[in-house]
Structure 1
Amino acid sequence: MNNYTATQILETLQSGHEAICYLEDCIHRGELNLSDIIIFDNMVELLYALENATSNVSVPNRVKEIKANIMFYIEHLKQNAINENVEAFLYDFRFHVRSLFRILEFEIAYIVEDFVDKQDYPRLYPEVGIVNHGDIAALGEKAGCKVSVVLVAYNNLNYTRDCVESILMNTDNVEFELILVDNGSTDGTKEYFDSIPGAKVIHLKYNLHVVKGFNIGLMAAEGKYSAAVCNDFIFTPNWLKNLMICIESDPEIGYVSPGATFISNMQQISIPFSSKEDFQEKAREYNVSDPTKWEERVVLLPNVLCCPTALLDRIGYYDTRFFRGEFSDDDISFKIRRAGYKLVYCADTVTHHYGSLTTASDHQTNSLEEGRQTFIDKYGLDAWLDARMSAAYMRLDFSHLSSVKSILGVDVKCGATLLQIKNHIWSTYGIKPQLSICTTEQKYEADVSSISENVFLLDNLRYLPEELDGKIDLVYIEKPLDCYSDDLDTIFRNLSKIMNTNGKLIFMVNNSISIEALYEMLNSSNSIHNRKIYIRDMLYLQARTHGFEPTSFINIAPERSSESNQVVEDLAKFLTGGRELESKYLESLLHSTFGIYQMEYQATLQ
């Protein structure tokens, strides 16, 4: 692949797009006739040319499968045109061929992106340009209905039937259309979908997997909002009504999702139940709209991907580069948030999740690490390490934060834990504190800027901003203090200047004799080259010098890696000569020294 070849490929795509637009215009004017059918023969040649041009690329792609689906429906179109079956022709053109070609455009644009200037092709690269919120809102007002509920299924008919029935049973209080995408199933899903009265059904002849399966369904949406769901969920009374109350409470909210019985990312809601009927009754009692249970997030897992339809179209739906779907959820969260919208977890609403049926086959591969690396390659950030809540959050003491109206987050990565502290203060005390953020790492600037208007990029902690709007009630420093080049005296002195009397300071320090620290030392890791070693008494003394008194101390043991566990085991055996009892004792001792210290201080400044 080179620049010339990439440009030729995109020009070929443009020819196909123009053919689609010509046919669409003829249909709109009611002037399509049999002589236009030759365009489909030209499109077949174009599809073969595109497949050949991209056959030897190294990036994973599904050009072959997309092309096969388009070819299948071109034959349908030609036959329906000959038989003058106008309704079937229009349906297949609109919801199959046109959308499939757009999916092909995104796929090929991704393949050649390193060889073209994206600014020259804004239609193919939705990340180019600014998302205009006014345009999104205006398009929403022209929508054909309130919500398009888009369900994607690949086999697992019994679960799919339960899912569809739960939607039909529990969504009578919101105007919606139901879009059912059969992603190449072979178990009767096609026939079942065709039996649902009033549903807009999309059948893929060949499985395009989860990302493209969702995208073709979302491209068919005519609602102001789209709510994309998997077939391994059961929905509950008021689920969609509650999501609508939340997303329409603030025009800056661009993505909401409910809780579920089985999910990660702190979106799980545990409700014991004995049957589907029992669960529905308990969910009915639980699903009462409650704004104090709405949590702004950096990343949402889409139990339901509920967003303005026009916004999804503008950002290009799910990113096609996430070949097996893993981390496409994180990616679409980033795209929506970076477009200037808030993400809100609706903890006032519960659904039931059986667990990863839609992507079960991909989980048998190395899909998690593959998707994680794709995310890193795209953003220069690790979704797990940079955009998830710190393990320390669950151990923080929030009992003395009732008067916190302003928070300064310092080196909070993408801000996930900082937002959760704000959420907790809101749900507990009814206060939404103003956020300010300082970061010494520029790679986080775009993301923290999406959750706070007051963001300051610093070289170090010597120069905390003087532009802060008043003094701060709570300072939360996520990066361990021993990782800064600044000494403790400098850090505490500068913090004391910006904090209110009786303000709170939360910071962390690495345990310098943890297994990870020892292992890094043995391997001469660059990550600890400039790390300081702080003992507790030193921290207490330096903090008191500048008006801080300790109120709590917690030893946090984050989840240990398999590599760390192996180090513990090997070291214990080595030091004890393999003696079992002493080995277990030493292993316990080593485990206890693992982790970071989290300390909370109260300012006693006068």
Structure 2
Amino acid sequence: MDNLTATKLLESLHVGREGIIYLENCIKQEEMSLSDMGIFDDFLNLIRVVENLTNTSTIPNRVKEINANIIFYINELKQNMMSDKVDSFLYNFKFHFTSLFRVLEYEVAYLVENIVTKSDYPNFYPEIGIVDHEDIIMNGKNSKCKVSIVLLAYNNLSYTKDCVESILMNTGDIDYELILVDNGSNDGTKEYFNSINGAKVIHLKYNIHLVKGFNIGLMAAEGKYCAAVCNDFIFTPNWIENLMICIESDPKIGFVSPGATFISNLQQISVPFVSKEDFQERAKAYNVSDPAKWEERVVLLPNVLCCPTALLDRIGYYDTRYYRGEFLDDDISFRIRRAGYKLVYCGDTVAHHYGSLTTAVDHQSNSLEEGRVTFRERYDLDAWLDARMNVAYLDIDEKLFSGVNSILGIDVKCGATLLQLKNRIWSSYGNKPIISVCSTERKYDLDVRSISEQVITLDNLIQLHSVENVNVDLVYIEKPLDLYSDDLDTIFNSVADKMNTNGKLIFMVNNGISIEMLYEMLNSSHSVHNRKLYIPEVICNQARIYGFESTSIFNYAPQRSADSDQMVGNLASFLANGEEKETEYLKSLLNHTYGLYQMNFVGI
């Protein structure tokens, strides 16, 4: 596709948007007439043009599914007008046709984003310009209710009923609207949704899948906040009240989500139960609002995507480029946080999660890697390696956090683990330390600036000496020391210069005899041969020279990749000369050759 074709596409969509504005004005002034039906024929021609111009795109997209739904609702609108069904016309126009056209705009804008100048089309590219926080607040004041609960379902009717009933049963004390989105189900979901008194129901004739399905529901929201949920959850007493308490505690909070019985990203809460009724009783006892259980995060998985509605509208909702929905959560976390808001995990609230029923149709083979690549292309970062927590922080003795009012994080990637250290101090000691970050890798600057009070960019650690007004109680170095060009003398001397009396130091070092290191050496890896090899005894002796005394050393293995597992198997088989029992024994030994040391020190 060339620039001329891309421009024609966006200009066509712009004309369609003007047509919608014209019809909205006619409706507002009660001047809609049968003569205006011709505009819908123009829309039919427009979407045919769009489909013809996009059907050769090599980028995965849902243009055909979106257009099929638009055509269906154009015909519905015509029938509504011919039958003088005013209420049905207004409803279908606002919550089906208009929203579907906006979904189409985002889809096409994504397909041509590398061909056009985005700044020429700010309405199609929400990332253009800054997010005005005051504008978000003002828009929230004009809302029709406190919160819009948006539920997306595709089949799995029995689970959907459990989910809806749990919402109706446990959300009585909040001024809310319930938006039910049927994403082209064929199992009676449509009829069931229609039976829910007072619900705002959106029916899609054809499945437009996870991303677009959620977005059309969120576009229908008229509450100050949105709370988007999947149909594979069961909600509990005080769930929405607790989320509201958290998100309204600080205007800088832009996204909150509770814990669940089955979820990753350290958002899982174990609640043993024997029945749905038993779970509700146990959850009621657990769901007591407690700010000590609130954790600021770099990435937050949306058991519930609870955000200001105006904020989601401003940033363009879920990003349409995530074709199957994988890494959608990481992306919206990044966009909300980079817009100047905090993400908070509400560990004081639990819901039950059956696990990926709504999204199962999109979770096809290789979909994880597909989404991971999409995220990397968008941010030049790896969602797993750069933005997730290092679980080694769980091994740190709680006593090490006593008296810590300030932290300097050094090369902490996007800062996920650094934030979790802050969260643990808040949970254990009731204070939120001030965070500063020193980074020698520029690609993380934007993200660490979103979570810290001060960001210092350096070329190497010896430059720390020249940094003024930095004196902290805890230094956390996430990048393994053996990867620095600076030697141990330089590192410990530079760090000691920035620490308060009795300061603490936490850092990592690669284990030189881990399976990954050994395998790379056997393959003559240039990077390994130029890497420093440190042993714990040498590090402790060197640290002692600069006033540090070791308190604990942990060795652990990060979750191994498939490649690492294959390394272990190959090496064990080679060393055992093919003997099956010997191979299994050696695999066991090699798997316990941990990859990293975590070393904790206190200044003396």
TM-score range, shorter chain: over 0.9
Q: Give the distance between the partners of 2:304 and 2:483, measured in 1 at CA.
A: 39
| Structure 1 partner of 2:397 | 397
How many angstroms apart in 1 are the aligned matches of 2:54 and 2:572? 54
**What's the CA shift for 1:341?**
0.2
Runs of 4+ in 1 over 6 A off after TM superposition: none
Matched, 1:504 2:504: yes
C-alpha displacement of 1:465: 6.4
1:400 Cα offset (Å): 2.3
Would you say the 8 A contact 1:456–1:465 is kept in 2?
no
**Structure-1 residue corresponding to 2:203:** 203
Aligned twin of 1:133? 133
Q: Which moved more, 1:317-326 or 1:396-405?
A: 396-405
The answer for the alignment partner of 2:180 in structure 1 is: 180
- 1:29 to 1:166, Cα distance in 2 relative to 1, 3 A: same
8 Å CA contact 1:406, 1:474 repeated in 2: yes
Structure-1 residue corresponding to 2:275: 275
AA of the residue aligned to 2:79: Q
Q: Residue 209 of structure 2 contacts residue 362 of structure 2 at CA under 8 Å; is this kept in 1?
A: no
Asked if residue 246 in structure 1 is aligned to residue 246 in structure 2, the reply is yes
Deviation at 1:574, TM superposition (A): 1.8
Q: C-alpha distance in 1, partners of 2:361/2:484?
A: 44
2:568 paired residue number: 568
When structure 1 is superposed on structure 2, of 339-348 and 358-367 the one drifting more is 358-367
Match of 2:326 in 1: 326
Counterpart secondary structure, 1:431: coil
Query: Which secondary structure state, in structure 2, belongs to the residue aligned with residue 115 of structure 1?
Result: coil
**Percent same amino acid at aligned positions?**
68
Q: Secondary structure at the match of 1:409?
A: strand
In structure 1, runs of 5+ residues without a counterpart are none
Name the SS of the counterpart of 2:400 in structure 1: coil
Note if 1:194 corresponds to 2:194: yes
SS of residue matched to 1:563: helix
Deviations 1:137-184 (A, max 9, x none): 000000010000000000000000000000000001111000000000
Structure 2 equivalent of residue 96 of structure 1? 96
Cα distance in 2 for partners of 1:451, 1:483 equals 25
1:234 to partner: Cα distance: 0.3
C-alpha contact (below 8 Å) 1:548/1:601 kept by paired residues: yes
- Point out where structure 2 has 5 or more consecutive residues left out of the alignment: none
Residue matched to 2:454: 454
Structure 2 counterparts to residues 56-95 of structure 1, below 5 A: 56-95=56-95
Most deviating of 338-347 and 559-568: 559-568
Aligned 1:309-458 pairs, distance under 5 A: 309-458=309-458
1:488-567 equivalence runs, <5 A: 488-528=488-528, 530-567=530-567
**Counterpart of 2:481?**
481
Q: Corresponding residue for 1:152?
A: 152
Q: Give the Å deviation of 1:578.
A: 3.1
1-structure distance, mates of 2:538, 2:243? 50
TM-fit CA distance, 1:526: 4.7
C-alpha separation between the residues in 1 aligned to 2:212 and 2:20? 19
Deviation at 1:276, TM superposition (A): 0.3
Map of 1:53 onto structure 2: 53
- Counterpart position of 1:12: 12
Deviation for aligned residue 1:21 = 0.8
Question: Offset of 1:590 from its aligned partner?
Answer: 2.2
Moved more, 494-503 or 559-568: 559-568
The AA in structure 1 aligned to 2:499 is M
CA distance in 2: counterparts of 1:173 and 1:436, whole angstroms: 41
**Alpha-carbon separation, structure 2, partners of 1:29 and 1:110:** 35
Q: TM-score, normalised by structure 2?
A: 0.98
Contact 2:387 2:414 in 1 (8 A): yes
Give the secondary structure class of the aligned counterpart of 1:558: coil
1:535 is displaced (CA, Å) by: 1.5
What amino acid is aligned across from residue 532 of structure 1 in structure 2?
Answer: K
1:468/1:360 CA distance change after superposition, 3 Å: farther
Rounded to whole Å, the distance in 2 between the matches of 1:575 and 1:467 is: 51
Secondary structure in structure 1 of the residue aligned to 2:152: strand
Q: Note the C-alpha offset of 1:527.
A: 4.0
Per-residue deviation at 1:383? 0.6
Cα distance in structure 2, aligned partners of 1:207 and 1:306:
24
SS at match of 2:268: coil
Q: Cα deviations across residues 489-543 of structure 1 (Å, max 9, x unaligned)?
A: 0000011100011110000100112111122223343543532111122111210
Report the AA paired with residue 575 of structure 2. Answer: L
Partner in structure 1 of residue 44 of structure 2: 44
Shift of 1:456: 1.1
Query: In structure 2, how many angstroms separate the alpha carbons of the residues matched to 1:585 and 1:41?
Result: 72
**Cα distance in 2, alignment partners of residues 31 and 208 from structure 1:** 33
